[in-house]
Every structure is written in structure tokens, then in C-alpha cells.
Amino acid sequence: MLVTAGPTREPVDPVRFISNPSSGRMGVAVAAAAVRRGHDVVLIAGPMNVPPPDQARCVRVTTAQEMLAAVERELHASDALIMTAAVADFRPKQVSEHKLHKQEMPARLELERNPDILATVAARKGDRLFVGFAAETQDIVENARRKLAAKRLDLIVANDVSRPDSGFGTDTNRVIFLAADTEPEHLPLLSKKQVAERILDWIEQRATRARG
């Protein structure tokens, strides 16, 4: 299983970057659950606040482009891709090689769009199961359903990151499972470890069904 976790950081200069509050807890929980169940796990990790599971092979990356390159490199040996990482949508168009002092900083940063990792590797999906995450603050189900279709996902795990007990930096999540062939499944407030177990249950059941 190939799991991504944590944020990406998009540098402005050697001491400044664009990022988000993702801690990596959810991705590490998924990787650890997969290891406990006997799966071979590769964890592609951005700058996380938590250590990776000992038994998973950890590939460290910083930027969205580095994460994409790592996913493309590792995907061929994987049966499932679980994208929990919070990948920055944009990066600065120009990156300074030295620290920009206040008088050098532009009043506006010119940004360019980062690659969408799941959309980029969709053509190589084959029989693999693709699981994505949708961190939303409104219209959770509607926005997640659009991403499910656009990125050719088998399952999307959506959560309201505006809630204090769910999302970035918390030990708990309140998520909704959405698949194309089933009704949305609203899970109660669970620890991220429990959410990870539910995700692994879903993947293993779907894989068993696909094998007939």
C-alpha cells in the first residue's frame, strides 16, 4: 500500500514557505493500521509532526512536485494508493536563493498551480484502489462527490476541518465515506486510529469483492 501524509511546503526563499496546518497524524495512522494487518507499506511523507511507523518504508519529501515524483516512482508496486496528504495547491512562481529582507519582499507573491497528484496518476490507475481525502469547510458532501468523480477515486473520505474536534492537528476525525456505488456513510466522532481501521476495512472488503 502506498500512503501519502502530512503537508507540503512551497518555498518563497530559504526561510519562508507556503503550507497548511496538516500534522500527518491521519496518514501515519493509515500506514500503521496497514502494517499491523500485514501489508507492505510505503509512506511518502511531507514535513510531519509525528514519526512514521517503524515497519513502513518512509520516503521524505518537501514540495508537491517532489511528492508527485515519489508517487509516480512507487505506484507501480502498489495495489492501493491512499492520499491523505494535504498538498499545497499553489507555489511561488519565483523562489529566491537567499533570504529576502523586508525591503526586498514584493507586495504580492506571484503564484502558479501545483500538479494535482491524483489527477496526474489517474491514467495509471489500472486495477488499483485509489482513496482520497477532502478537507472541506462547507457543502461537504457535494464538494467531495465532485472530487470523487473528477479524480476517478474509488473512495473519498470527507471531513469538516472547521470543526474543533475534526481535521488538522487533532487526534479525532468526524468523516463521511463516499463511493460512487453507495450512499454516503456518516461516521461518528472517532480517533484517527479508528478512522484508519475503517478505511482499511473498506479497502480490504472492496479488494476481496473485486477478486470474486
Catalytic option among 20, 49, 114, 159: 20
The type of residue at 190 is L
Type of residue found at 64:
A
Q: Which residues pair with 11 in a beta bridge?
A: 17
Does 159 participate in catalysis according to the annotation? no
CA distance 18 to 179: 32
Measured CA to CA, the distance from residue 38 to residue 141 in angstroms comes to 32
Give the list of residues 6+ apart from residue 43 with CB closer than 8 angstroms, or none. 3, 4, 5, 27, 28, 31, 52, 53, 56, 57, 58, 59
CA neighbor of 74 nearest in space, from 62, 57, 86: 57
DSSP string, 41-106: -EEEE-S-SSPPPTTSEEEE--SHHHHHHHHHHHGGG-SEEEE--B--SEEESS--SSPPPTTTS-
Q: Which residue in 62, 57, 82 sits closest to 2, CA to CA?
A: 82
Contact between residue 170 and residue 195 where contact means Cβ atoms under 8 Å apart: no
> From the centroid of its chain, how far is CA 38?
22
Residues designated catalytic: 20
